[in-house]
Amino acid sequence: MATLALLLAGCQTTKDGTGTGAANSASYEALMRLADTTRGQGDLYTAATLYRRAHAANGARVEPLLGLGDVLVDQGTPREALDAWRQALALDSGNAAALRGYGRALLALDQPEEAARQYAAVLAADPKDRRALNGLGVAKDMMGDHKGAQEQFRAALALAPGDRTTLNNLGFSHLLAGDAAEAIRILEPLARMPTASALQRQNLALAYGLAGRDEDAARMGRLDLGEAEVQRNLLYYRQAREGTGKR
């Protein structure tokens, strides 16, 4: 990481934060490459530092702010991310990635109505933006409009049949709507893929549990969780079923 240390030490800024001309221009591309690579390796703290340095090196470019916003949401600091998205939108008010990112941060802050407006703005310009369709669907689910959410997810699937993120969202939406059987139908093939994520497997475990299939829920849960957590989840499933009159 010697190159990284040199870049971080060498990228000086002036008192007004604008940087030092040619040196900043020369380092910008290198900083962005390192930021993207570091983010891909899971080092979000260093990636955020690098994106900030890249922004200081070239404040006219929106890309560092886009990367920074995403990293800050991934770090669990959506309020800080909102500032990055606002700065990006000040540079390019119609930037789809910034609008989607702004919406994502708002979802993390439990503000689905405002998030929905950001996704709607993206879709007004491009009705086939799958990420915006997914984001709007999640916002609608959070607002309790599960039918509307499922319409968004199906519109995204019409553009990209088999997209795993959209299928997971659609299955979870059916869970929220109380239709565990449909959720299982959607989530089972997804969770059985070799490339399935822990989230996708545990959403299926939840669907099994809410449908009263505790053995299947436990089996799926143990793929990612310890036994104590599996047992806590089983207790939650039973309590949830009792609350809805299902055993």
Encode pLDDT of 89-114 as tens digits. Answer: 999 999 999 999 999 999 999 999 99
Residue 130 has pLDDT above 60, yes or no: yes
Residue 17 has pLDDT above 60, yes or no: no
Confidence category of residue 243, pLDDT binned at 50, 70, 90: confident
Q: What are phi and psi of 81, to 5 degrees?
A: -60, -35
What does DSSP assign to residue 62? S
CATH topology of domain 1-10+20-109: 1.25.40
Mean pLDDT, rounded, for 221-236 = 96
Encode pLDDT of 66-80 as tens digits. Answer: 999 999 999 999 999
Give start-end residues of each CATH 1.25.40.10 domain in the chain.
1-10+20-109, 162-247
Q: What pLDDT sits at residue 26?
A: 61
pTM here is 0.85
Measured distance CA(149)–CA(83) in Å, rounded: 28
Encode pLDDT of 19-40 as tens digits. Answer: 455 555 668 999 999 999 999 9
| Nearest residue to 115 via CA among 95, 100, 126 | 100
Token duo for residue 146 = 């599960």
Under 8 Å CB-to-CB from 194, ≥6 apart: which residues? none
> Which residue carries 């929220």 as its tokens?
176
Is 193 within 8 Å of 183 (Cβ atoms)? Answer: no
Is 171 within 8 Å of 150 (Cβ atoms)? Answer: no
Mean pLDDT, rounded, for 116-120 = 97
Confidence category of residue 14, pLDDT binned at 50, 70, 90: very low
Residue 9 has pLDDT above 50, yes or no: no
Q: Kindly report the CATH number that applies to the domain delimited by 162-247.
A: 1.25.40.10
Q: What pLDDT sits at residue 10?
A: 43
Mean pLDDT, rounded, for 79-85 = 96
CB atoms within 10 A of CB 128: 12
Residue 86 has pLDDT above 50, yes or no: yes
